[in-house]
Structure 1
Amino acid sequence: MEQLINDFSIGLFIWQIVIFLLIVFLVGKFAWKPILGSLDEREQGIENALKAAENAKTEMANLEASNQAAAQQAREERDAMMKEAREIKEQMIADASGEAQAKADKIIANAQAAIESEKKVALADIKAQVAELSVQIAEKVTRKELSEKDAQLALIDKMLAEANI
């Protein structure tokens, strides 16, 4: 350090100050404004990028909320459609069951009517046969003169045995 103080020259110092001032003047005149302009421009670019990032973040949050709302709505619509489908299925089953029951009731009623009709026909046939047998028995009884009661009973038993064949 002492050597620096011993080597110090006032003329050199003045020239260094003049050159420094000249460099400061030239830098201030020609380079300072463009440097400050580019720094301001860069600062604005950074601020714009931060604002754009914040806007993108907000937009993403809005989109996410919108997607969640849409998903919820889709779930609700799906649930409503499933409920409606179940109701339609149950209604179709109930309708088919009612229709089947009605058809079964109709078939049963028709079968009962047919049975009743056949029963009436069979009873009418039996009555006709009984009447015919009664007429035949009475005819045979009247043809033969019977004096004994035992002989009459034996004849009736014989006629009944012939009728059963």
Structure 2
Amino acid sequence: MDLLHDFSPGLFFMQTIILLILIFLMRKFAWKPILNSLNDREEGIQGALDAAENAKKELQNLQADNERIIKEARAERDSMLKEARVLKESMITEAKDEAQQEANKIVAQAQETIEGEKKAAIAELKQQVAAISIEIAEKVVRKELDNKENQMDLVDSMLGDVTLN
């Protein structure tokens, strides 16, 4: 089995030509589609990696936007609560002021009513006292004026009171 003894230059030449034709055919029909499919696969993988990176960046942007929106919503909620508290306090203060004014008005009206009723009662009391005084005076004067001597004493005492005043 000696290879050099079995060597045939014609056979070698033919095998070389067949090998070159086979390489040419493989290159023309097999290598290009294989390389193209490998390139397509590599481009697809690279595209998927780029898409994943873009999706990751977009997710980060969305998370940042969500955080910003949540902060804005919290700030708006806080401002609305603060505004509601201020409005509540102003309404309570306004209601208290109105109630105080109404109470003062009612008290003033009650005092005016009491004063009016007091004046009316005093006037009525004066009238009654005057009427009673006149009745008493009439009775006293009748009794006093029954005789002449008492009449003169009464006139003299009245004249004395007038000069003293």
**TM-score per shorter chain, which class?**
0.7 to 0.9
**Larger RCO, structures 1/2 (Cα 8 Å, 6+ apart):** 1
Q: Indicate yes or no: 2:107 matched with 1:108.
A: yes
Q: How does 1:1-165 map to 2 (within 5 A)?
A: 6=1, 9-10=6-7, 14=12, 18=16, 20-145=19-144
Counterpart residue type for residue 59 of structure 2: M
- Structure 1 range deviating more: 13-22 or 108-117: 13-22
SS in 2 for 1:144: helix
RMSD: 2.3
TM-score by length of 2: 0.75
State percent identity of aligned pairs.
Answer: 55
Cα distance in structure 2, aligned partners of 1:128 and 1:111: 25
Unaligned runs of 5+ in 1: 1-5, 147-165
Cα distance in structure 2, aligned partners of 1:132 and 1:10: 174
Cα distance in structure 2, aligned partners of 1:120 and 1:16: 151
Using the TM superposition, give the Cα deviation of residue 20 of structure 1 relative to its aligned residue in structure 2, in angstroms: 4.5
Unaligned runs of 5+ in 2: 146-165
Superimposed CA distance per residue, residues 54-100 of structure 1 (whole angstroms, 9 cap, x where no aligned partner): 01100110011001101110111111111111211221111111111
Q: Assess, with a 3 A threshold, how the Cα gap between structure 1 residues 133 and 35 changes in structure 2: closer, same or farther.
A: same
TM-score by length of 1: 0.75
Q: May I ask how many residue pairs the two structures share in their alignment?
A: 140
